[in-house]
Amino acid sequence: MSSKISGCHTRQLDGNDCGVACVSSVLKYHGLYYGIDYLRDLLNKKNEYTIKDLISIFTSFPCFTTKAIQIEENKSEETFKNIEMPCIALINKNNEGHYIVIYAVEKDKLIISDPLQEQTNKLSLDNFEKSFSGIALIINKNETSLNKVSYSGESDKFKKLSFFKDLTKGNKLFFFFIFLFSLVVVILTAAASLFLKLIVDLIIPNNLNETLSFLAIVFLSIALVRVFFDYFRNIFIIKLAYKLDERMADNYFDKIINLPINFFHNRDDGEIISRFNDSIHVRNIFSTNIVTAILDLTIILGVGFTLYLINNILFLTVLLPILFLVTIAVLFYKILNRRNERLMISQSVSTSYLVQFLKNMTSIYSFNKKDYFRHSFKKVYSKQLKATLNEEKMVNLNQMLNQLVKGLFFVIILWVGAQQVINDSITIGTLLVINTLTMFLLNSLERIIGAQSEIQKGLVATDRFNSILNYPVYFKGNQPIDKKIQKIDIENFSYSFDFFDRIFENVNLKIEQNDHVLLMGKSGVGKSTFAKTLVRLYEIPPSSIFINNQDALEFNVKSLREKILYLSESPFLFKDTIRENLCMGEQFTVEEIRSACDISEISDTIFSSELGLDFVLNENASNLSTGQKQRLYLAKSILKKPDVIVMDESLSNVDNELFEKIHWNLKSLDCIIISIYHNAGDIKKFNRILELNDKNIIEHESYAYSTGS
């Protein structure tokens, strides 16, 4: 099996990811490194991926063309030898569909990548035929287009190395001092072990009272110095942990705020939070485990060499438990890795469930469903507890075997050492020193092995954390919008989440300055999707939306969203004063704030309070009604003086009288207003009436549009 094929394997993250994992493996084979996280987001679904879905993912990469074929029974070998490889095959596994990648045919075996396995392996053609459904996906590549791909990424190995290298950047001095101080502590501890040898072999036999006092003072001084060095070493470890936490948090949030909106739509809150919490395990690898492991390895080599010089028979006796302990570590590596991964996934599921549980307590209380959600959470949390139990059982077994080896060989070493003393090969003092050094060596080895679980947990956490940091982000357009938006032209605009089922197609529309547009349509026809494409929350095809006669893709997103504001029906308000919620770091005068609040009809609510703008909102502004939150949210958008405001049901909880007042007030603004509502009862406030129906936008005759009608 070639090294190229062996490195092209992606394990699935859960039971539904086998198809996406296969796509990732095929892309790796062609030098494109895209993780499951990114590929899943190319589809508007989370599970039950069909061949059609896999074709849809490959359609996102113009360098590939795909074709699904039906292979006749017992014709697999002949077919695979005559098509471009690798391909993806659908097999039956445990009475369910399962995807695998087939890389090559070697004699009567297939080289495959099964996402359920740890690595690529071989499968006999006979066994394959028994489970093969007959359906395969051929993937043809275009070398010319492949060379033009703007992002290819790095292999998982290089991603991890780059991540670790970035973390150590600027912290090398901390690592140096931690290692140096640790080395001093080790040397002083080893030196302290000589005290007992000197007492037994020198002081007591020769009755050296004065020398004893001198040595006692010397070794007391050594103990004090060791404590101080240990203290300062821990100070450096704490500071290093702080700097690592700060850097990882900065990297994480810098990435999060640049991710596409569908990333958040396709993930639970708890999953994103748990990925951030994984940084704790990553930090522990660097701040303690790796430094300690390097130090302990140095101790093992140094003490081992010292023991060899003192007595080679005892050295060989000490070597045996080291080999046993290393063997145990190797045997438990993959098992602990899988258990850690399952535990982290179950923790993210529990966190997600708890977050949505806490966010919706009002509904839970009003429906009297406290018991239902308590039992539901218990069911979810029990899976986490089971994963924790399985991991701790395995860690406990690992530790028990280590303790067994250590305990047995402690006796064996003393046994062999005593024989050496009886044979006059060594003195009793030397035996005591050897015993101390041996325990020192075994303790170092035990720490390395004891850190195995934490290091593996950290490596799994690194993969999960990196899946966010390495998520591909494309920034199209770099021009700012310098002029006021006078018009928006939409030409032959079609949009689909999966390249097959279009939400709307060939839409043509012109929106001009000061238009007040109403977009109507039934639920689920794509009104919100259309609105979000205007601010590029969803990416759009080239030459489909033009702003002031220029392709919208030529403008940078930040500038575009300064000019066009999208308001959803769920206002974003946070725990702070009303002033801070309205300004969000910008400076506005009280007159500007009051003017915006007057237009959105929220002034009375704010300024009738003694605290006024200094009134503190609870989390999610739970101390305001939904209608008040929506009006405050509108005031926030008016303060930014945009050229276009897109209101997607953003006043859905405002009563009719206020609703009408607000829309008449909005006429005073020199901007385009695009409103999306289900209810067409107040269409007289708009000069243009649009309806999204049957995948297209139809314009209806508008009512009179004047301040008095």
Q: Of 391, 394, 282, nearest to 339 (Cα)?
A: 391
Q: How many angstroms separate the CA atoms of 582 and 601, rounded?
A: 14
Query: Are the C-beta atoms of residues 642 and 485 closer than 8 Å to each other?
Result: no
Q: How many angstroms separate the CA atoms of 527 and 647, rounded?
A: 11
Q: How many angstroms separate the most distant Cα atoms in the chain?
A: 117
Q: What is the DSSP letter of 498?
A: S
Name the amino acid, one letter, at 209. N
Instruction: Establish how many alpha carbons lie within 13 A of residue 320's alpha carbon, considering only the half-sphere containing its beta carbon.
Output: 13
Residues identified as active-site? 18
Q: Is 475 exposed, middle or buried (0-12, 13-18, 19+ CB in 10 A)?
A: exposed
Collapsing DSSP to helix, strand or coil, 160 comes out as: helix
Q: Of 452, 619, 483, 622, nearest to 548 (Cα)?
A: 483
Q: Of 693, 438, 666, 469, nearest to 567 (Cα)?
A: 666
The sign of the CA dihedral 205, 208, 209, 215 is: negative
Crossing angle of the two packed helices 590-599 and 656-666, in degrees rounded to 10: 120
The sign of the CA dihedral 216, 219, 223, 225 is: positive
Q: How many angstroms separate the CA atoms of 80 and 123, rounded?
A: 14
Contacts of 298 (CB under 8 A, 6+ apart): 183, 186
Q: How many angstroms separate the CA atoms of 680 and 670, rounded?
A: 24
Q: Of 297, 250, 298, 301, nearest to 276 (Cα)?
A: 250
Crossing angle of the two packed helices 626-639 and 656-666, in degrees rounded to 10: 0
Q: How many angstroms separate the CA atoms of 1 and 503, rounded?
A: 45
Query: Are the C-beta atoms of residues 189 and 440 closer than 8 Å to each other?
Result: yes
Residue with tokens 């605009």: 493
For residue 86, say if its preceding peptide bond is cis, omega within 30 degrees of 0. Answer: yes
Instruction: List 98's β-bridge partners, or say none.
Output: 91
